[in-house]
Structure 1
Amino acid sequence: MLFRECNIKSDEEFKAAFQKAVETFGGIDILCNNAGMFDESEWENMVSTNLVGSIRGTYLALEHMNKLKGGQGGVIINVSSLAGLGPLLTAPVYSATKHGLVGFTRSIAAAFAASDYGIRVNAICPGFVQTNLISEIKSQMGQFAHLVDARLQMREKLGVLTATEVAECILELVTDETKNGEALVIIKDSKFYVTFPTLDKSSDKP
């Protein structure tokens, strides 16, 4: 087991973390882009962390996993959110970063498959999870702090997941080789894969 502190907004530190993993374990075949923050008052930092950081991690993983360049292939899991599939009135920028991550996941999964890189990419979209991101909700909502009651009502309706429940679903996406470009939603006592509309007019599907 290896732990290494890394600022994902630093290309140099992120590259060094990947290199250390390669030196320790002989290669990389799984990446989980899990770093994230929630603070509407620091929206630019949130975009850099939640969205740009995951994009950077994915492209760095490609350098190590790409079968066309000597890699062994692998799987990447991007941790999005239920807020990445529907509007979250109390956190519009956070919601935007998570929407972007779902779109990036689906697009890059298709690009990797068409390029025969041997890399699957999926997104996991949990509801509320018992982490420090929900421990001080009102102070993190910035100019939308007056909507805190709506946020609390939503949390009460959806329930709160444990980190273990989320990890189990991440493992499902890692081990099921049929899953690529998927978004798996998890809320308390329920999970399902999202069916997205297709842009291919030649398809019989809606």
Structure 2
Amino acid sequence: MGRMAGKVALVTGAASGIGRACALALAREGAWVFAADVDLDGLAEACALAEALQRMEPARLDVTSEAEWAGVVAEVERRAGALHALVNNAGLCIGAPLLETTTEVWRRQQAVNLDGVFFGVRAALPLLARAGGASIVNVSSVAGLTGVPGLSAYCATKGGVRLFTKAVALECAAARNGVRVNSVHPGAIETPIWAKMQNDGRLDPGSNSTEALMAGTRQVAAEATPLGFPGAPQDIAEGVLYLCSDAARFVTGAELVIDGGVTAA
């Protein structure tokens, strides 16, 4: 039996990168996974990879929409009857010096990275509390623990996720509702976010420069990481899987840092 056997999970940003790895890891361990994203093609690919695993199905979700959150949670309840794990992974990173950060760029990152987590936790918490033991994992970043030049807006959102997580963890503990709430803080992980960072948060699938950009950022990440190489999405997924499982039954309000040693300095 897998570590998530008999459990239902909802993962946002599941079309690619860390979110896809988390959804697949949870499915591999027996969860019925609702993989949510606005990228339906990416979700189809992710679900195809899980065909030999337990149930994993796509759910269209714009995390910045309160109405869509309500609809997805209602659909999970209608289809599965329960929810045991919520992984708020959807995120957006746009690099720019402060004086070049427009209000629109600031608000876009706030909407996805912080509002999306708030809407998701608020929408799903009643269903999670009825599970008799559940987990919320909010994916923050090492940029939520320390400042990064050129990423002030992103840092603000991820720092917000960190403290929002702790506050909700204490609320749930006081309510004795059985819901644990933790944050995960990835370091340099090789995902499409690198190619989007300098392109207004968007990925141009037709651009010949994408792989060159990835190669360049991969080298930068390796040089900035004490272990000497960037992490892979699966490295984060393993930590998320632990926090979602009953093995972490005594862990709440915690920060799981998976960064190759970056914040050890």
TM bucket normalised to smaller: 0.7 to 0.9
Distance 1:165 1:16, change over 3 A: same
Corresponding position of 1:3 = 58
Do residues 162 (structure 1) and 232 (structure 2) align? Answer: yes
RMSD after superposition: 2.5
TM value normalised by structure 1 = 0.80
Corresponding position of 2:67 = 12
Contact kept, 8 Å, 1:184 with 1:191, in 2: the verdict is no
Do residues 48 (structure 1) and 111 (structure 2) align? Answer: yes
Gaps of 5+ in 1: 142-148, 195-206
- Segment of structure 1 superposing worse, 7-16 or 45-54: 7-16
Distance 1:85 1:108, change over 3 A: same
Q: Which aligned segments of 4 or more residues in structure 1 are displaced greater than 4 angstroms?
A: 149-155
Q: CA deviation at 1:154?
A: 5.5
Q: CA deviation at 1:155?
A: 5.2
Corresponding position of 1:177 = 249
Corresponding position of 1:58 = 121
Q: How does 1:1-206 map to 2 (within 5 A)?
A: 1-40=56-95, 41=101, 42-67=105-130, 71-140=131-200, 153=220, 156-158=223-225, 159-175=229-245, 176-188=248-260
Quick one: percent identity of the two aligned structures? 29
CA distance in 1, matches of 2:194, 2:262: 21
Gaps of 5+ in 2: 1-55, 96-100, 202-215
TM value normalised by structure 2 = 0.63
Distance 1:112 1:191, change over 3 A: farther
Contact kept, 8 Å, 1:185 with 1:191, in 2: the verdict is no
- Write the letter of the residue equivalent to 1:46: Q
Q: CA deviation at 1:151?
A: 11
Distance 1:153 1:191, change over 3 A: closer
Q: CA deviation at 1:174?
A: 1.5
